[in-house]
Amino acid sequence: MSNILSATPFGSAEPLAPLRAKWGWIVALGVVYVVAGFIALGSVVAATVATVYVVGIMMIIAGVAEVISAFQVKSWGRFIFWLLLGALYVVAGFLAFDNPLLTAVWLTLFLGAALVASGLVRIYLGFNMRAGSPWVWVVISGLITLILGVIILAHWPVSSLWTLGIFLGVDLVFAGASWIGLGLGLRNVPAV
């Protein structure tokens, strides 16, 4: 209980009191996340396809928003640019639906490259931190990220069948565990 109280911005349970009555629903949400995560981990190819569909939907929504914003622009050059950008997003979104496994191949390639770049940057930043700072943890984090990216790229394009699905499953399990922990912690918050 003291951990939750000290984690609040003002050192009291008052901001969390309205959520106390909903602690059971928050735990239930966490359980749903954990179950969905284990289902995703049980069928990583299907989870990869589901991830691609979500990305496709987001691209279509973003494309429609870009097209709508194009009509807010005053100059023709910018209008055409925004309109083309929105159309490209919409087309890319529909292409993701048309061939989700090919889309997963390219998303996995970008993910692996991003992890390698992020790992290298963290390692560089860690070695350039001041003495006395937790530079070792930054370097270790960078090494783990770099190794994960190299593993994904070394097995690409085969890794595209399982990488996104595993990431989705692990993310759902950890998000669910955090919701469960929050809900159980809220149960002990005193009513105001």
Q: Are 133 and 4 in contact (CB under 8 A)?
A: no
**Rounded to 5 degrees, what are φ and ψ at 134?**
-80, 55
How many domains, the chain? Answer: 1
Q: Are 134 and 81 in contact (CB under 8 A)?
A: no
pLDDT at position 133 is 76
Average pLDDT estimate for 114-120: 93
Average pLDDT estimate for 19-34: 87
Does residue 4 lie in a domain region?
no
Does residue 78 lie in a domain region?
yes
Average pLDDT estimate for 40-54: 91
Domain hosting residue 159, numbered range: 20-185
Q: State which amino acid sits at residue 123.
A: I
Does residue 11 lie in a domain region?
no
Residue 13 or residue 1, greater confidence: 13
Q: What's the rounded Cα separation, in Å, for the pair 185 and 108?
A: 37
C-alpha dihedral sign at 26, 28, 30, 36: negative
Which has the minimum average pLDDT: 62-71, 129-138, 146-155? 129-138
pLDDT at position 5 is 46
Reply yes or no on whether the pLDDT at 190 is more than 90.
Answer: no
What number of H helices and E strands is found in the chain?
A: 8, 0
Q: At what angle do helices 163-187 and 100-127 cross, to 10 degrees?
A: 70
pLDDT at position 31 is 95
pLDDT at position 22 is 83
pLDDT at position 11 is 53
Does residue 12 lie in a domain region?
no
Does residue 5 lie in a domain region?
no
Chain centre distance of CA 184: 24
What separation in angstroms does the CA of 111 have from each of 43, 97, 156?
Answer: 20, 19, 11
Does residue 143 lie in a domain region?
yes
Which has the minimum average pLDDT: 10-19, 68-77, 134-143? 10-19
Q: Are 97 and 137 in contact (CB under 8 A)?
A: no
pLDDT at position 32 is 95
Reply yes or no on whether the pLDDT at 1 is more than 80.
Answer: no
Chain centre distance of CA 23: 24
pLDDT at position 42 is 93
Does residue 9 lie in a domain region?
no
- Nearest CA to 84 out of 58, 63, 111 is that of 63
pLDDT at position 116 is 95
Q: What is the pTM of this model?
A: 0.69
Does residue 35 lie in a domain region?
yes
Reply yes or no on whether the pLDDT at 138 is more than 90.
Answer: no
Model confidence at 33, pLDDT cuts 50, 70, 90, reads very high
- Give DSSP secondary structure letters for 103-129: HHHHHHHHHHHHHHHHHHHHHHHHHTS
Average pLDDT estimate for 123-129: 87
